[in-house]
Structure 1
Amino acid sequence: MKPPASQSCQHYPECAGCDRLHIGYEKQLQHKQEEIATLLGGFKGLEILPIVKSPKEQMYRHKVQLPFGHRKIGKRSVLTLGLHNKENTFIIDQKECRIQDRDLTTVAFAIRHWARTENLSPYNEKNGSGLLRHIVLRKANASQEILVGIVTNTNEIPGRKNITNSLQSYIKQFLSKEKSKAEVVGILQNVNQRNTKVVLGEKETTWYGRHFIKEKIGELNFQIGLSTFFQVNPYQIENLYSLVVQDLPSDSIVVDAYCGIGTISLYVAAKSKKVIGLEENPNSIRSAIGAAKANGIENVVFTRGKVLQSLQSALNEKPDVVIVDPPREGLDSETKKILLNSKIGKILYVSCNPETLRRDSVELTKSFRYQKVTPVDLFPHTSHLESVSVFVR
């Protein structure tokens, strides 16, 4: 399982970050095409289009979440930072990564150096002790801005001003050494005191700068925070969203379910008569409304609430098309019932999980014809696969 020299990594295959680094990229694409054909090939008349390859195969991830850990060296305990091993028994002290953006890896190294120099303790899951739980890093491809999130186990940190200054200084040094043009525009502390696998807590404090980075999709401007849902491979976003636009009839009334901060809603607005975005998360809805205003788009409205309730209400607007972009769990049974019993002419299903897509498609084909699916590779060197499916009444 030795990776080709062009994509080798000293942590592979021990690290859980990727699982296909030993396969050349063209072969990976072929395997994913075959997997989707095997999974969905039983649907009568379904057209399975060629996979859309990622314009960038390596160092494409613009969001990085890494846990802190520790390892014993003699009698000393040394802080580590990286991803879990495949067995989830320890945290690999990251020396390199083939899928993270290079600048974010550099910032991660700077943070680890800072934590060790300041003698800050890593969180211990077993007894709940320690300070540092995770880092969350985000980078905007358009502006080269970086947002740094330090997730801690406690709110109060003695000497916070001093350690913030030293953190800024180390990050600048490390980026400068790599001759990077990226700039950290905000450092945030996120507090998570729960015994949970969920990375981010509810409380956020700004240590430096602002709480968002400025990103673009095409000509559209967005503000991305630590917890904002935004595709992590910016090189592939327009390819993904263009597939949605191309199957959208002009001047349609469109419902965009699970709309997040409104990226798809605003991207399809120019071709639509009206777009109704549905989203449960209050922060996302606020960001979506702000993005519509900032981009001067007036034919999009956003409704906050669980998709299950708000979809039924949105159908009163007599939409022509419903776009769904659900989480990995896919659509719940009640939402599928609403779609089946509606008068919707077309569903555009953006999926991040082929297994739940197949399950949902079995249900949807009771009233819809599964017309076509286009696989999109947003995550080279991993088994993850996105796709855009078209269902017509």
Structure 2
Amino acid sequence: MTSQGLKVEEIRMRPPMSQSCQHYPECAGCDRLHISYEKQLQHKQEGVEKRFVGFQELEIRPIIKSPKEQMYRHKVQLPFGHRKIGKKTVLTLGLHNKENVYIIDQKECRIQDADLTTVAAAIRHWARTENVIPYNEKNGSGLLRHIVLRKANASQEILVGIVTNATEIPGRKKLADRLHSYIQQFLCNEKSKAEVVGILQNVNQRNTKVVLGEKETTWYGRHFVKEKIGDLDFQIGLSTFFQVNPFQIKNLYDLVLQELPSDSNVVDAYCGIGTISLYVASKSKKVVGLEENSNSIRSAVGAAKANGIVNVAFTKGKVLRTLQAALNEKSDVVILDPPREGLDPETKKILLNSKIHKILYVSCNPETLLRDAVALTKVFKYTKMTPVDLFPHTSHLESVSVFTR
């Protein structure tokens, strides 16, 4: 028994490593675990070559494989739910099944970091032991909606987010203390070197599929983890956009850096917290990052200051409203890293009417990239694309494309 009165076997949730997963293929988290990784890479390469065959001048480079094939995800979002087992209704925590009918009670995962699986198990145990009620989407009752977990690869720090359906929670201090204790105990039993540096309550009372709400309260520690890309330091919060596979970030950004002419004036559209902006700053004359999220802009400015980078500036606002003014300042290169929806028509129009020499397009969606490439090649030449596998065992694919005049 432990100091919490729990049997060690109840705490030890992490299974031995194998190629299989007890939840596959029922779970919607991945869909290619049954295929060897080399075959997955081959399929993705062939898929890209087939999709983009119509671009005569395009060189499609060999796909860059992930340095880590399993347990690479360092961000996890899991919903709470409940299922009837016999005569009992039991709280569950995991991903939806493929048909999106129920939530699988996740016991293992081959693509998310093992420490985060352990933390999720601790949170499930806490919720069941303390009888904290899960949120019910149908009638809006219950408290626990989601967990959001982040782990920094460089520092091994973990940030825990508990998304709730209410601001005030009776006995919150005791619940928070117990939660921290359970998490520490579970990690200790796994002999983990990771450290939980913050536990946050995020309040989301809206009837929405969006996970995070606007209000956050700190239950323990601080609201960020410390991460690095190369020699650059960043602070990552619950809602920060940051690539989920930290083992591939440098490979992805190096592709952008290699294609950037020295001493260029650069516009980094959809810059988030400025990761690409700061990464390419040493090779650039000036970088202007464009981002509509206020929190991301504050983080970007803070990161530039913390890293001693002075040739980068950030502008708040939607790209379609800020891009034209940024391009008027004698810009040479535009870096694009849009969401899955890709570029809106007005942004493409601005790019086509500009005098820039080069576009470096970081895409997470081959379909919208294809659509945007068709539009951009009215003026630009589509010369190179390098696929980057950030998401092994899934159909998702990142890439870096080069468009020149």
Q: Distance in 2 between matches of 1:68 and 1:131?
A: 10
Deviations 1:114-158 (A, max 9, x none): 000000010000000000000000000000000000000011100
**1:316 offset after TM fit, Å?**
1.3
Of residues 66-75 and 94-103 in structure 1, the stretch that sits farther from structure 2 once superposed is 66-75
Q: Distance in 1 between matches of 2:184 and 2:74?
A: 19
Q: Give the counterpart letter for 1:333 in structure 2.
A: P
Identity of aligned residues (%): 84
The equivalent residue for 2:380 is 368
Indicate which of 232, 250, 255 corresponds to 2:244: 232
Indicate which of 320, 325, 330 corresponds to 1:308: 320
Q: Distance in 1 between matches of 2:302 and 2:91?
A: 40
Deviations 1:316-372 (A, max 9, x none): 111100000000000000000000000010000000000000000000000000000
- Alignment of 1:22 with 2:34, yes or no, is yes
- Alignment of 1:77 with 2:98, yes or no, is no
TM-score, with normalisation over the residues of structure 2?
Answer: 0.96
Deviations 1:211-268 (A, max 9, x none): 0000000000000000000000000000000000000000000000000000000000
Q: Give the counterpart letter for 1:306 in structure 2.
A: K
**1:6 offset after TM fit, Å?**
4.0
Q: Distance in 2 between matches of 1:55 and 1:73?
A: 40
- Any stretches of 5+ residues in structure 2 without a counterpart? 1-16
The equivalent residue for 1:56 is 68
Q: Distance in 1 between matches of 2:272 and 2:359?
A: 18
Q: Distance in 2 between matches of 1:211 and 1:41?
A: 46
Deviations 1:296-317 (A, max 9, x none): 0000000000100110110111
Deviations 1:189-227 (A, max 9, x none): 000001111000011000010000000000000000000
- Alignment of 1:198 with 2:213, yes or no, is no
Write out the 4+ residue segments of structure 1 that deviate beyond 4 Å after TM superposition. Answer: none
Of residues 70-79 and 299-308 in structure 1, the stretch that sits farther from structure 2 once superposed is 70-79
Of residues 68-77 and 117-126 in structure 1, the stretch that sits farther from structure 2 once superposed is 68-77
Q: Give the counterpart letter for 1:245 in structure 2.
A: L
Indicate which of 329, 334, 345 corresponds to 2:346: 334
- Alignment of 1:355 with 2:367, yes or no, is yes
The equivalent residue for 1:246 is 258
Report the number of matched residues.
389
The equivalent residue for 1:171 is 183
The equivalent residue for 1:213 is 225
Q: Distance in 2 between matches of 1:358 and 1:315?
A: 24
- Any stretches of 5+ residues in structure 1 without a counterpart? none
Query: Secondary structure of the residue that 1:188 maps to in structure 2?
Result: strand
Q: Give the counterpart letter for 1:145 in structure 2.
A: E
Q: Give the counterpart letter for 2:73 in structure 1.
A: R
Query: Secondary structure of the residue that 1:317 maps to in structure 2?
Result: coil
**1:7 offset after TM fit, Å?**
1.6
**1:74 offset after TM fit, Å?**
2.5
